[in-house]
Chain A
Amino acid sequence: MKFVATLLTSLLLAFPAWAEIDIQEIATPGGFDAWLVEEQDIPFVALELRFKGGASLDRDGKRGATNLMMALLEEGAGEMDARAFTERTEELAARFSYNAYDDAVSVSAKFLTENRDEAVALLRETLVNPRFDDDAIERVRAQVESSIRSDLKDPNSIVSAAFDAAAFGDHPYGSSADGTLDSVAGLTRDDLTAAHKGVIRRDNVFIGAAGDISAEELSTLIDDLLGDLPETGWDMPARADYALEGGINVVPFETPQSVALFGHEGIERDDPDFFAAYVMNVILGGGGFESRLMDEVREKRGLTYGVYSYLVPKDYAALYLGRVASANNRIAEAISVIRDEWAKLAEDGATQEELDQAKTYLTGAYPLRFDGNGPIADILVGMQMDGLPTEYVVNRNAKVEAVTLEDVQRVAKRLLRPEDLHFTVVGQPEGLDLPGQ
C-alpha cells in the first residue's frame, strides 16, 4: 500500500507529551526513596512496592516458604482474622495483591482518596503484623498444593519446570517459587514468620506511586506504612550458573500438541549491548505479528498459533528464551525452522529495513505502556530496580534510535548461538532428530 511512507517521516515527532511525564523523586524523613507521578484526575492512588530477593531467598529445604508467606499476608493481620480483614477491605473498596516472583515479591495496592488513611492502615497491618493463623495456613497451603498438582499435568508448566531444572539445578532459579508438594507440606508457621522477617524489610524495598496524592502526603504515607519493618534480613542469593547444552530434551506427556521452550544464555540488563539485543529480538521473535519467527513458522507454514522469543535478564542469570506449540506431528518442522532462523540471523544479520521497522515499533509502543496509574506505578518501580534514572523515560527512545545496523549484527553474532540452543519439548513429538539416538 502507498500511504504509509509519508507518515513515517513524522514519526519521531509524535510523542513530545511523554517528555513531560513528571516523575518526582522523594526522600522521606524515615529514610525511604520513592518515585511518584502525581495525577489528580481520578480520585485514587496506585502504589507498587517490590522487595528485592523474592522467592529466591527461600532457605534450603524450605522451597515455597516465601510464596506461601506472601499469599498469607491477606489472610489476617493485627486484630483482624482473615474474614474481618477481607470484609474491611471490601468496605473500603481497596484492592491489595501480594505476589512472589524469582527476584522480588510485590505488593500492589489501589485505594480511594476518600478513605486513603484507613486503607493504608489496613495495608500496614498486613506488612508489619501478619498473623499466620493456623487455619489460614492450612487453607492456603491446600490451595498452593492444588496449584502445584495442576502444574504437574499442564504442558506449559511442565516445560518450564524441566528447562529450569536442567539449566539451574539446585539454585532457586532451578525450581518453581511455589515449591514442591513435599517442601510445601513440610513448611511450618516458624518458616513463614522467618520468611516474613527475611524478605519484607527496609533495605530492599522499591516504591512507586501514581495518582491522586502529593509528594508530601506520599512521604508521610510511606513512613507510616513501612517505618516499622526490620532494617535488613536474609542475604541476597548467589549467582546462578547455567548448565544446559544445545540439543533437544523430550518430556513425554500424552497430549495432542507439543509445547517447546527453547533458549540459551542471554545478556545482562546493564550490558552496553542490551539495547541492541533488545532491538534485535524484536526482529527475530519479539514483536507482535512482525517477527521473523512469526512470519516463517506461523504466517508462511501455519505450524503454530504463536511463536515468540524474549530476553530474560534476571538478577542472578541472563537468559534468551522462546516458546512455540505445534501438533505432535508438526513440532519437528517448527523446531527446524526456528533453528534455521536463529542461525540465519547470527550469520547474515538483519536488514536496514527490518531495523527501521523494529525501531518505529519500539519507539511508538513505549508511550503506550503508560496507560493508567497502575501501569505507571509498576514502571516506576521497575526503573528503580534496574538502576535507571528518572530521565530514562525521556531518553529511552533516543537509545533505541541510536542502535545501528552494525550494533545489531555484532550483538546477533555474540548473542545467538545456534549450537547452544536447547529445546525442551513436552508432548509426544514425532520425527525429532534427537542427538545421540
Chain B
Amino acid sequence: MRIAVKGATLALMLATGLAQADTLPTPQDDVTTFALDNGMEVVVIEDHRAPVVVNMVWYKAGSADEPEGASGVAHFLEHLLFKGTDTLDPGEFSRTVARNGGSDNAFTSYDYTAYFQRVAADRLDLMMRMEADRMVNLQLDEEDILTEREVIIEERNQRTENDPGALFGEQRNAALYMNHRYGVPIIGWRHEMVTLDLDDALSYYRKNYAPNNAILVVAGDVKPEDVRSMAEQHFGVLPPNPELTDRARPDEPPQRAERRLTYRDARVAQPYVSRVYLAPSRNHDDQKTAAALVLLSEILGGGQTSKLVRALTFDSQTAVWAGAFYDATRLDESSFGIAVVPSEGVSLQEAEDAMDRVIAEFLAEGVDAAQLDRIKMQLRSQAIYSRDNVERLANRYGQALATGLTVEDVQAWPDILQAVTGEEIVAAARDVFDRNQAVTGWLTTPEEVTQ
C-alpha cells in the first residue's frame, strides 16, 4: 500500500526536491534543440495530441548561487518577477495568462529558477513575449518588496516553521554541507529573509537573468521552426550579459567526521531516523555513477520489494515505513538518503541498527538479479508512460540543462541506467556509504527516551 507516513515522506521530498529515480526520455521523444546567437539554449519537445503547449524559461541560477547573507533572495526574486515591468502592471503577467485561459507559476531550487505557463498552443507567442520582457525589464518599488517579503515569510511559516519534519531537514542539510550552499535552505534562513531588500533582489536579477544564462523549453503542439522564429523575435534581440561568470561555488572540504543530530519537537507524531550521505550527481563526463546510485535507491528503498521495506516491514515488524531517496540531477555534489519510521514500541536506536544491518547485508550479498531485472523493466516502461506527460519531459530537459548536462546526456541516460551491473551498484554503494561523510538524524518528541 502507499499510505505514506506523512511527516516523514513530506520532509524528505521537500528537502531534496525531486527525489527518486526520475528517468527516461527516450529516443522517441520528438526533441529539437538549437541555440540563439545570444547564447540562449532552446529545447522543443513535440506532442501533437492536444493543442496545448508548456512554455518554460529556466535560469541557471538558484539558491546555491546567492551571495552570503542573502539566503532566500533567489526565491524572493522569483516571486517578484510577477510584479511589473516597463510595460506591465504588477500582477498583469498572471492576469494576462489567465485571461488567455492559461495557468502559470514558477519554482526555485538549489541550481535553477524556472517560470512556466500552460496555455493553448496559439498563445505561445504572447507567453514568450512576456517572458522576454521580464527577463530584462523588471520594475520594482519599495512597496512591492515589503509586501512580497511578508508573503515569502508566510510561505516559510507554511512550509517549514509549521512542520517539524521540514525544520529537521534544514538542520540535517546544514550539517551535511559544511561549506557548500546546498546547506542553506532554498527558501532562506528566516533571519536573513527579513532583511532582504530591493538591492539584494535587483543585484541577483542583474547578475543572473540574461539570455546567455537561460534555457527555453517548449513542449506540446508546436513546430520547431515556429518556436525558433518566435524565440528569435522575442529573446534573440536581448543582449547577453558579458559579465556572466562560471558558477563556481565553494567546494566541500574533506569530510572526516561523522555527524549526528537529534531534533525534538512536541509536534512530532511519528519519530523517524534518517541518514544522508554525500553522493555524486550526474555529470557530463560521468553519468554512470549516478545511474548506479539511482538503481541503488530503488533496490534499497524503492517500494514494496526493496531491501529495507522487506526486511523491516515484512520480515520483521521493525518499521511502518522505510525508504531511500537520491537526487541525481544536481550541479554539484548531491546526497543519498535513507529513512526508517519505526513501529510502535521500537526505539530510534533499534530502527537505526536495523537499517544498518540491512545495508551491511546488502553489501555482503550483492544485488539480487531478479530484483534488478524488475527495476530495469520498470525504468524501461517509463519510456512509454512518460510520453503521456509532456510537462514532465519538459522538466527533465530543463533540470538537466540547468545543471550542466547536455541534451545528448539526457537522451543517453535511459541506456546508461539499463547498462548498470550489480557489481557497479555495490561498488557505488561502498563509495557512498561512508559514515564520515554523512549525517544521521533523529526526529523525535521531547519525551522520547534515547539510549
**B7 touching A150, Cβ below 8 Å:** yes
Q: Is the CB of B389 within 8 A of A372?
A: yes
Contact B118 A368 (CB under 8 A): yes
In the complex formed, the residue of B with least CB distance to A289 is B94
Q: Which of B102, B122, B154 contacts A303 (CB 8 A)?
A: B154
Chain A residue contacts of B268, Cβ below 8 A: 153
Please measure, in the bound complex, the distance between the C-alpha atom of A90 and the C-alpha atom of B381, giving whole angstroms: 10
Interface stretch of the complex, out of B81-89, B245-253, B356-364: B81-89
Q: A1-B92, A139-B313 are in contact. Are A42 and B155 (CB under 8 A)?
A: no
CB < 8 Å neighbour of A7 from B126, B304, B378: B126
Q: Are B51 and A146 in contact (CB under 8 A)?
A: no
Q: Closest CB of chain A to B25's CB: distance in Å?
A: 14
Chain B residues contacting A259 (CB-CB under 8 Å) are 162
- Nearest-CB distance from A421 to chain B (Å)? 22
How long is the Cα–Cα vector from A295 to B101 in the complex, in angstroms? Answer: 19
Chain B residues contacting A367 (CB-CB under 8 Å) are: 50-52, 120
- Asked if B304 and A142 make an inter-chain contact with CB atoms under 8 angstroms apart, the answer reads no
Binary interface encoding of chain B residues 119-162 relative to chain A, with 1 for a CB under 8 A from any of its CBs, else 0: 11011001001000000000000000011111111110110011
Interfacial chain B residues near A44, Cβ < 8 Å: 384-385, 388
Q: How far is the CB of B259 from chain A (nearest CB, A)?
A: 27
- Contact in complex: B52, A368 (CB < 8 Å): yes
Q: How far is the CA of A147 from the CA of B387 in the complex (A)?
A: 33
Q: Which of B49, B148, B270, B314 contacts A83 (CB 8 A)?
A: B314
Hey, which chain B residues are within 8 Å of A304, CB to CB? 151, 154
User: Would B147 and A7 count as touching, CB distance under 8 A?
Assistant: no
Q: Which residues of A contact B6 (CB under 8 A)?
A: 147, 150-151, 154
B1 within 8 A of A: yes
Q: Is B303 an interface residue (CB 8 A)?
A: yes
Query: In the complex the two chains form, is B320's CB within 8 Å of A365's CB?
Result: no
* CB of A290 within 8 Å of the partner chain: yes
Chain A contacts for B158, CB-based, 8 A: 257, 305-306, 325
For the complex, what is the distance from the CA of A75 to the CA of B162, rounded to whole Å? 34
In the complex, A370 has a CB within 8 A of chain B? yes
Question: Does the CB pair B377–A154 fall under 8 Å?
Answer: no
Tell me the bound Cα distance from A139 to B3 in angstroms: 12
Are A112 and B95 closer than 8 Å at their CB atoms? no
Q: Which residues of B contact A46 (CB under 8 A)?
A: 388
Pick from B3, B87, B377: contact of A71, CB under 8 Å: B3
Q: Contact: B269 with A374, CB < 8 Å?
A: no
Chain A residues, Cβ within 8 Å of B94: 288-290
What 1/0 mask marks residues of chain B from 96 to 119 whose CB sits below 8 Å from any chain A CB?
A: 101111111000000000000011
Interfacial chain B residues near A301, Cβ < 8 Å: 147, 150
Q: A86-B304, A143-B5, A302-B150 are in contact. Are A1 and B157 (CB under 8 A)?
A: no
Q: Is A190 on the interface with B (CB-CB < 8 A)?
A: no
Task: Please tell me if the beta carbons of B270 and A138 are within 8 angstroms of each other in the complex.
Answer: no
Interface centre among A288, A298, A360 (most CB of B within 10 A): A288
Decide if A112 touches B374 in the complex (CB within 8 Å): no
Contact present for B161 and A302 (CB under 8 Å): no
Bound complex: CA A203 to CA B255 (Å): 63
Interface of chain A residues 241 through 299 with chain B (CB within 8 A): 254-257, 259, 287-290, 295, 298-299
Chain B residues with Cβ below 8 Å from A351 are none
* Cβ–Cβ contact B120 & A364, under 8 A: yes
What is the CA–CA distance of A254 and B265 in the complex, to the nearest angstrom?
10
Of all chain B residues, the one with the shortest Cβ separation from A140 is B1
- What A residues does B260 contact at CB under 8 A? none
A90 CA to B100 CA in the complex, in Å?
42
A135: chain B residues within 8 A (beta carbon): 314
In the complex, what distance in Å separates the CA atom of A372 from the CA atom of B49? 9
Contact (Cβ within 8 A) A302 B119: no
Q: Does A434 contact B (CB under 8 A)?
A: no
Contact A143 B1 (CB under 8 A): yes
Minimum CB–CB distance for A371 against chain B, Å? 6
Q: Does B421 contact A (CB under 8 A)?
A: no
Q: CB-CB < 8 A to A143: which residues of B? A: 1, 3, 5, 320-321
Which residue of B has the minimal Cβ distance to A372? B388
User: Which chain A residue has the least Cβ–Cβ distance from B374?
Assistant: A90
Measured between beta carbons, the chain B residues less than 8 angstroms from A350 are none
Residue of B nearest to A374 (CB): B388
Residues of A close to B51: CB separation below 8 A: 15, 17-18, 367
B33 at the interface (CB under 8 A from A): no
A357 engages B388 (CB within 8 Å)? no
- Contact call B102/A365, Cβ cutoff below 8 A: yes
B303 touches A155 (CB 8 A): no
Give the residues in chain A near B4, CB-CB below 8 Å: 147
Contact of B5 among A8, A42, A146, A289 (CB under 8 A): A146
> Does A209 belong to the interface (CB within 8 Å)?
no
Per-position 1/0 for B1-25, Cβ under 8 A of A: 1111111000000000000000000
* Cβ-closest chain B residue relative to A42: B387
- Docked complex Cα distance between A364 and B103 (Å): 9
Contact A257-B157, Cβ < 8 Å, known A71-B1, A287-B98: yes
- Using known A-B contacts A90-B305, A149-B270, A305-B158, determine if residue A371 contacts B98 with beta carbons closer than 8 Å: no
Task: Decide: B149 and A302 in contact? CB cutoff 8 A.
Answer: yes
Does B427 lie at the interface of the complex (its beta carbon under 8 Å from any beta carbon of A)?
Answer: no
For residue B118, which residues in chain A have a CB less than 8 angstroms away from its CB?
Answer: 368, 371
Cβ-defined contact, A254 with B266, below 8 A: yes
Question: In the complex, which of the residues A14, A98, A142, A325 contacts B154, with contact meaning CB atoms closer than 8 Å?
Answer: A325
Q: Which residues of B contact A289 (CB under 8 A)?
A: 82, 91, 94-95, 98
Contacts of A362 in B (CB 8 A): 101
A82 at the interface (CB under 8 A from B): yes
**Is B375 in contact with chain A by the CB < 8 A criterion?**
yes
Is A239 close to B, CB under 8 A? no
Query: Could you tell me the distance between the alpha carbons of A299 and B152 in the complex, rounded to whole angstroms?
Result: 11
| B167 CB, nearest partner CB in chain A, Å | 11
User: CB-CB contacts of A124-151 with B at 8 A, as 1s and 0s?
Assistant: 0000000000010011101111110111
Report if A257-B378 is in contact (Cβ < 8 Å); known contacts: A153-B269, A302-B154. Answer: no
| Complex contacts, B87 vs chain A, CB 8 Å | 1-2
Taking the closest CB of chain A, its distance from the CB of B241, in whole angstroms, is 25
Q: Which residues of A contact B377 (CB under 8 A)?
A: 90-91, 93
A54→B321 CA distance, assembly (Å) = 26
A361 contacts the other chain (CB 8 A): yes
A327 within 8 A of B: yes
Residues of A near B270 (CB, < 8 A) are: 146, 149-150
Complex-state Cα separation, A162 to B385, whole angstroms? 40
A39 to B270, CA, bound (A): 44
A331-382 at interface with B (beta carbon < 8 Å): 357, 360-368, 370-374
**Residues 1-30 of chain A: 1 if any B CB is under 8 Å from the residue's CB, otherwise 0?**
111100110010011011000000000000
Q: How far is the CA of A239 from the CA of B266 in the complex (A)?
A: 39
11 example contacts (A-B, Cβ-Cβ < 8 A) are as follows A14-B123, A74-B1, A86-B304, A87-B305, A135-B314, A147-B6, A151-B269, A154-B269, A288-B104, A290-B95, A299-B147
Interface residues of A (CB under 8 A from B): 1-4, 7-8, 11, 14-15, 17-18, 39, 41-44, 46, 71-72, 74-75, 82-83, 86-87, 90-91, 93, 95, 97-98, 110, 112, 135, 138-140, 142-147, 149-155, 254-257, 259, 287-290, 295, 298-306, 325-327, 330, 357, 360-368, 370-374
Q: Which 4 A-B residue pairings sit nearest by Cβ, starting from the closest? A: A364-B101, A302-B150, A93-B381, A257-B157
Apart from the given pairs A15-B51, A112-B381, A288-B98, 11 other A-B contacts in the complex at a CB distance below 8 Å: A1-B96, A14-B123, A39-B49, A43-B384, A93-B380, A140-B1, A143-B321, A150-B7, A152-B269, A255-B162, A299-B147
Binding site for A on B (CB under 8 A): 1-7, 49-52, 82, 87-92, 94-96, 98-104, 118-120, 122-123, 126, 129, 146-155, 157-158, 161-162, 266-270, 303-305, 310, 313-314, 317, 320-321, 341, 343-344, 370, 373-375, 377-378, 380-381, 384-385, 387-391
